[in-house]
Chain A
């Protein structure tokens, strides 16, 4: 398991679920969390979201640039954006400070 991918995913879920769930419930898996598959590339990590298990987060919120800014701030200034094709995919740059939106 890639520790870097886990940390990024933790930060994404915690940011989007802020105010709704505490850490204990996130860790326990008793809440409805989004599910994704991570692909670690040399310069970025792509989280391909499950279109069904969205964790109650709408596509409009994923595609909102304000959400990207919020996630980038939670990830230490790393560049974050969400792509929309047949599925939603969250891309996080592995190096901080690259083209922060």
Chain B
């Protein structure tokens, strides 16, 4: 880029020289320099061209030289710039290094300080733990001491209590022995008293039995029937169950009630069913020993004369199975019941 500008400058200078020569030629003015038209008014054109060429060469050389100077200056400037840049860069690097070193130092200082603080904190914590452990140990020692003292006190108290209880037990044992001896003596006395009372009671009972036996024997020997309430065998025992004009009823020893025949004047002496039941109940309670021997049919006949037995069945064939009625009768009964029992 820069070289292209230099070449353009050189081309411009050459063109300017040519134009200057042409102008001097036409106007008679002698150009400035070594070669002038005045000094060589009678020279030819080739000489002028050689002079111009020499001038051009010289100008070109001068331009090249200047250009080289400029380039050298430029190179020098570039080198200076480079050097300055390097120096600035070195200075910046040195500054940065210094700043980094300072920052590093600051960071290290900070870390060191933090580590110091942390270590100091750890030391404080450790110291607190050690203090706590020491206090706990002291407390344990104190408690142990206290417990030891209390245990010793309790042991002493227990020993005293044991001694006292031993004494009390011995006293109680002695007292119990005395009580047992006293109780045994009391029991012996009570047993003796009971034995005497039992003998007395037995004597009284024997005497009472003897008196009763004597009275019973006397009653039997004297024929005192009313005393033992024993009616004569199969003999009628008359009990008056009705007062007034009605004749009395007769109850036999087996509980049978006999009704007398009524005269026409005594027709008002009939009994209702409830009254009759009361008579039979009374007769049965009067002869309890005989009631168990009577059959159900006999007792039934007193309540419903002619009705010898009553059996409750679920089906009629149960009576057939029991042999109470014949199968033919059962079949006829069932057929009549189903047919409505119409007239035969």
Contacts and interface: CB of A to CB of B under 8 A. Distances in A.
Contacts of B308: 35-37, 50
B294 to A, nearest CB: 14
A73 interface: no
Contacts of B343: 65, 101
Given A1-B303, A30-B259, A83 B314 contact: no
B340 A40 contact: no
Interface string B279-314: 000000000000000000000111111111111111
B319 A79 contact: no
Nearest to A98: B340
Contact of B307 (A6, A28, A91): A6
Which secondary structure dominates where chain A touches chain B?
mixed
A22 interface: yes
B303 A33 contact: no
B336 interface: yes
Nearest to B296: A1
A54 B319 CA distance: 22
A75 interface: no
A81 B336 contact: yes
Contacts of B273: 10, 27
B271 A27 contact: yes
| Size bin of chain B's contact surface | 35 or more
Contacts of A79: 340-341
| Size bin of chain A's contact surface | 35 or more
A83 B333 contact: yes
A36 B325 CA distance: 12
B202 interface: no
Contact of B305 (A13, A44, A99): A13
A39 B316 contact: yes
B260 to A, nearest CB: 9
Contacts of B309: 37-38
B330 to A, nearest CB: 8
Contact of A24 (B270, B303, B315): B270
A34 B306 contact: yes
B324 A37 contact: yes
B44 interface: no
A32 B141 CA distance: 123
A52 interface: no
B326 interface: yes
Contact of A1 (B276, B300, B342): B300
Contact of A89 (B305, B333, B342): B333
Given A33-B305, A38-B307, A39-B324, A86 B342 contact: no
10 contacts: A6-B303, A9-B306, A23-B271, A24-B259, A24-B270, A39-B311, A41-B314, A48-B324, A68-B341, A81-B342
Interface of A: 1-2, 5-6, 9-10, 13, 22-30, 33-42, 44, 46-48, 50, 53, 55, 63, 65, 68, 79-81, 83-87, 89, 91, 99, 101
